[in-house]
Amino acid sequence: MMPRSTSPSSWLQLSTVTACCTFLSACSEGVLLPKGPVGAQEKQLLLEALVPMLMVITPIILLTLWFAWWFRASNARATYRPRWEYSGAVEFSIWMIPLLVILFLGSLAWIGAHQLDPYQPLQSKRKPLVIEVVAMDWRWLFIYPEQGVASVNELAIPVDTPVSFRLTSATVMNSFFIPSLGGQIYAMPGMQTQLQLQASEPGNYRGLSAQYSGAGFSDMHFQVLATDEAGFQAWVERARSAATPLDATVYDRLAAKHESSGVAYYAPASGALFDHAIDHATKRPESTSGVSASNPGTTLSSAGSEH
């Protein structure tokens, strides 16, 4: 017998599966590889919810395959019961087991949602670092009010120190997300939201926008530098050496640019700049309608926060 030749479509499917497995094995960060206490709690919550769901879906899949095999046309041992209509055990199983699972998952989600409240400060002996975040088209502005510096598309934080984020948007609704540290929360024009995160390990982590906001959305990402206290202070000093101050006038020019950009530093940074960003956004014509001036098709369809 001659071996059957492999069709081009089969080779394409095999190559796709191999590439996916390679990419997944190369992943070194994400929600399942947390680098902070918030991300670790969220991962634990996901696993605790996954187990009871698998306890329901796995028997269903196995029973479906078994039924298809047992009641096949060639099986003479399968009993045909055309008048069968009720079984107390079956009715109990199909109603009570899902009900118990839903009650368990609901309780788990209720408790987890309160434990992971993004407005609740993290327990630590160290003083939290306050960072004010402004989402723009299409970059992120980070303001350090206590250090008097600011940066674009680069976020530096000390390891094992709670970070208290205050977030808003200069244009349309956006979503602030650092997968390795956990949490995702929306930033909205004219409003302020909060998020508490902490890094447990030094490293360079990826930050991004999880909300489509226009043509430059794919470039709206930033780098998170988690270092020790000495490394963080060195970063602050490097930012303080910047020759460009950040006041209300410079901020307005920065917010008016609808383009992506690289890393930039500003010093000194005005302490009242975050409040100005909130007030400035409410005065923009597109902020009231939720439509970006540079992206008429981008609207604020919903508002809320996730953690």
53: domain CATH number? 1.10.287
pLDDT at 1 over 60: no
Banded model confidence at residue 18, pLDDT cuts 50, 70, 90 = low
pLDDT at 303: 38
Residue range of the domain that includes 138? 129-292
Q: Both 61 and 178 in a single domain?
A: no
pLDDT at site 293? 43
pLDDT tens-digit map of 227-252: 999 999 999 999 999 878 999 999 99
Confidence of residue 204 (pLDDT cuts 50, 70, 90): very high
Same domain, 255 and 143: yes
Is residue 111 domain-shared with residue 137, that is, in the same domain? no
Beta bridge partners of 71: none
- Separation between Cα atoms, residue 167 and residue 135, nearest integer Å: 8
Domain count, the chain: 2
**Any domain includes 286:** yes
Residue 165 inside a domain? The answer is yes
Residues 174 and 57 in one domain: no
Reported as a single tens digit per residue, the pLDDT across 60-87 is 899 999 999 998 989 989 888 888 888 8
Q: What number of other Cβ atoms are within 10 A of residue 265's Cβ?
A: 20
* 87-144 pLDDT per residue, tens: 888 888 888 888 998 999 999 989 988 888 999 999 999 999 999 999 999 899 999 9
Query: Dihedral of the CA atoms 90, 96, 102, 105 (nearest 10)?
Result: -100
The span from the first CA to the last CA of the chain, in angstroms, equals 60
* 219 shares its domain with 275: yes
Give domain status of residue 11, yes or no.
Answer: no
183 and 255 part of one domain: yes
Indicate if 92 and 184 belong to the same structural domain: no
Cβ atoms of 209 and 168 closer than 8 Å: no
CA–CA distances in Å: residue 230 to residues 129, 157, 235? 15, 11, 9
Place of tokens 């992120």: 140
Residue 27 domain flag: no
Q: Which one, of 139, 128, 141, lies nearest residue 195 by Cα?
A: 128
**Residue recorded with tokens 């043509």:** 215
> What is d(CA 133, CA 169) in angstroms, rounded to the nearest whole number?
8
Q: List the CATH number of the domain containing 138.
A: 2.60.40.420
**Same domain membership, residue 232 and residue 143:** yes
Calpha distance 67→39 (Å, rounded): 41
Domain co-membership, 223 together with 249: yes
Beta-ladder partners of 164: 130, 196
Does residue 139 sit in the same domain as residue 276? yes
- 155 and 183 in a single domain? The answer is yes
pLDDT score recorded for residue 21: 46
Give the pLDDT confidence score for residue 267 in this predicted structure.
92
Residue 165 has pLDDT above 90, yes or no: yes
pLDDT per residue over 256-307, tens digit each?
988 888 899 999 998 889 999 999 876 665 543 344 444 443 333 333 444 4
Cβ–Cβ < 8 Å for 221, 206 = yes
Q: Which two tokens stand for residue 140?
A: 């992120």
Same domain? 173 vs 63: no
| Cα 188 to Cα 125, 277, 288, 296, 302, distances in angstroms | 31, 11, 11, 17, 10
Tell me what pLDDT residue 300 has. Answer: 36
Please check whether residue 306 lies inside any domain of the structure.
Answer: no
